Structure 1
Amino acid sequence: MSGHELVTLATASGATFALAVLSAVAGFGGGVLLLPVFTALFGLRVAVPILTLTQLSSNGSRAWLNRRDLHWPLVGWFALGAVPFAVGGGLLLAQAPLGPLKRLLGGLLIAMVLWRRLDPSPRRPPAGAFAAVGASSGLGSALLGSVGPLTAPFFLAYGLTRAAYIGTEAASALVLHLSKIAGYGAGALLTREVLLYGVALTPAALLGAWVGKKLVGRISDTVFVILVETGLVVAGGLFLAGL
């Protein structure tokens, strides 16, 4: 590797570790916040597939570390909608106009936090509704790299917290990312550069997930929800700003 490539890898690894810790504590957020970093380093069309490979290891480790608390029926319903839409979105990535979609998602994320504040005890969604959640997040994630915050209010409204929330959300995202990789592969986006960086960033993602798992048990449910909602607002602001 050249000196420039080593600096790029070191920067990406540091960001991946820090945001994997955040994801392990809040259940999401790393992908959304990593996207601007990876876009600056690699360019958007390369950044999204690299981000997906990084999230594959991060979500896989979070699902494994919280495997005893997974809510498998929700994972199944989520996968039912996520798989076909993630594959389709992966095929569309090379052509899709991403700017307007980012701004739409940003507005939705902030609106969801306001909805939770105005209606702090929303009706619990039925498990079958997660097929629609999976479909929308599958398409959005394939085009934007990560829309994990978009699913957070639904998992929270279902009543999942802490390990159950983090593990179930991570297992659902793992299915989604595997489907996206299939779409990217079919669309010739999994280049040598993408695969090399995806593999090189895996240790940072795994270490961050392990550190975050050690921290999450020390946080109360109230603080946990505040962290999640803060992440939603930050992610929404980033999308609205076009980052």
Structure 2
Amino acid sequence: MNLDDLPTLAVASAAAFGLALLSAVAGFGGGVLLLPVFTALFGLRVAVPMLTLTQVSSNAFRGWLNRRELHWRLIGWFALGAVPLAVAGGLLLAHAPLGPLKRLLGVFLIGVVVWRRRNPQPRKPAEQSFAVVGAASGLGSALLGSVGPLTAPLFLAYGLTRAAYIGTEAVSALTMHLSKIAAYGTGDLITSRVLLFGAALTPATLAGAWVGRKIVGRTSDRVFVVLVEAGLVAAGVLFLLGL
């Protein structure tokens, strides 16, 4: 890393802090909103593995902060589906054409908002069904960076709230992100630059998660959901336009 990288690092750190804080409060949204920022700064094929590195630290810290409320059986079922599909998606990313992948990401981001609006209170899923949720999440996250806004309603519908929801969702996602890193490494996507920036962004990510933890319960979830959804639509349109 040289001096020319410092302005880029400063912008990326500010974004990582703010969106890690958002994730800690609302339980979702940080990763999928951070992806357009990283894509603009580094390019999509670098942004996805770099985002994964920041998500590892953020999710691990959120899981540890809420460790007494974790629902381990749910995490196990999620990981059963997520790990193999995350590896497959991570290997595919190394060879996927970037143009169609960006447009797919744009459609996905807008589709997330539509789906959430049409299914604000989905039925309580069976515990075993989280293996399917994990499989879809693993593949989608490996190719598109983050699918938290799509899976969040299912964790909530299961009956998890506050610390149990935030911690369980975070550790479930952690199993997926660790699998993605292994696949990205095999596909030569974990370069020295990705590792350096990932390490440099970790303090901002952890600080955002810690501050977010302090304000959980003091801020309206409704406000955060609206902000996240507005960001998703804006990012989706930009990706569809090829920006």
Q: When the two structures are superposed, what TM-score results if normalisation uses the length of structure 1? A: 0.91
- Secondary structure in 2 matching 1:189: coil
- Secondary structure in 2 matching 1:201: helix
Measured after TM superposition, the shift of residue 40 of structure 1 is: 1.2
Measured after TM superposition, the shift of residue 90 of structure 1 is: 0.5
Letter in structure 2 aligned against 1:170: A
Moved more, 80-89 or 148-157: 148-157
Is 1:106 the counterpart of 2:103? The answer is: no
What is the count of residue pairs matched by the alignment? 237
Q: Deviations over 1:141-172 (max 9, x none)?
A: 11111111111111111111211111111001
Moved more, 95-104 or 26-35: 95-104
- Aligned residue runs from structure 1 range 44-63, under 5 A: 44-63=44-63
C-alpha distance 154-236 of structure 1, shift in aligned 2 (>3 A):
farther
C-alpha distance 14-237 of structure 1, shift in aligned 2 (>3 A):
closer
Q: Who is 1:151 aligned against?
A: 151
Is 1:231 the counterpart of 2:231? The answer is: no
Is 1:178 the counterpart of 2:181? The answer is: no
Moved more, 30-39 or 178-187: 30-39
Partner Cα separation in structure 1 for residue 224 and residue 36 of structure 2: 20
Partner Cα separation in structure 1 for residue 208 and residue 229 of structure 2: 20
Q: Deviations over 1:210-240 (max 9, x none)?
A: 0000000324xxx325634652453255235
For structure 1, the residue ranges without an aligned partner over 5 or more in a row are none
C-alpha distance 44-189 of structure 1, shift in aligned 2 (>3 A):
same
Is 1:10 the counterpart of 2:23? The answer is: no
Partner Cα separation in structure 2 for residue 124 and residue 5 of structure 1: 47
Q: Deviations over 1:186-221 (max 9, x none)?
A: 1011111011111111111111110000000324xx
Measured after TM superposition, the shift of residue 11 of structure 1 is: 1.1
Measured after TM superposition, the shift of residue 42 of structure 1 is: 0.8
Measured after TM superposition, the shift of residue 93 of structure 1 is: 0.5
C-alpha distance 196-21 of structure 1, shift in aligned 2 (>3 A):
same
Q: Who is 1:77 aligned against?
A: 77
Residues 89 and 142, structure 1, Cα contact 8 Å, conserved in 2: yes
Q: CA RMSD in A?
A: 1.7
Moved more, 149-158 or 226-235: 226-235
Moved more, 231-240 or 78-87: 231-240
- Aligned residue runs from structure 1 range 99-138, under 5 A: 99-117=102-120, 120=121, 122-138=122-138
Partner Cα separation in structure 1 for residue 110 and residue 42 of structure 2: 26
Residues 33 and 228, structure 2, Cα contact 8 Å, conserved in 1: no
Q: Who is 1:187 aligned against?
A: 187
Moved more, 61-70 or 229-238: 229-238
Q: Who is 1:216 aligned against?
A: 216
Residues 54 and 201, structure 1, Cα contact 8 Å, conserved in 2: yes
C-alpha distance 225-131 of structure 1, shift in aligned 2 (>3 A):
farther
Residues 102 and 240, structure 1, Cα contact 8 Å, conserved in 2: no
Measured after TM superposition, the shift of residue 70 of structure 1 is: 1.0
Partner Cα separation in structure 2 for residue 66 and residue 194 of structure 1: 29
Partner Cα separation in structure 2 for residue 131 and residue 85 of structure 1: 11
- Secondary structure in 2 matching 1:188: coil
Partner Cα separation in structure 2 for residue 213 and residue 9 of structure 1: 24
Percentage of pairs with the same residue: 65
Partner Cα separation in structure 2 for residue 35 and residue 125 of structure 1: 29
Letter in structure 2 aligned against 1:190: I
Measured after TM superposition, the shift of residue 132 of structure 1 is: 0.8
Measured after TM superposition, the shift of residue 127 of structure 1 is: 0.8
Residues 109 and 233, structure 1, Cα contact 8 Å, conserved in 2: no
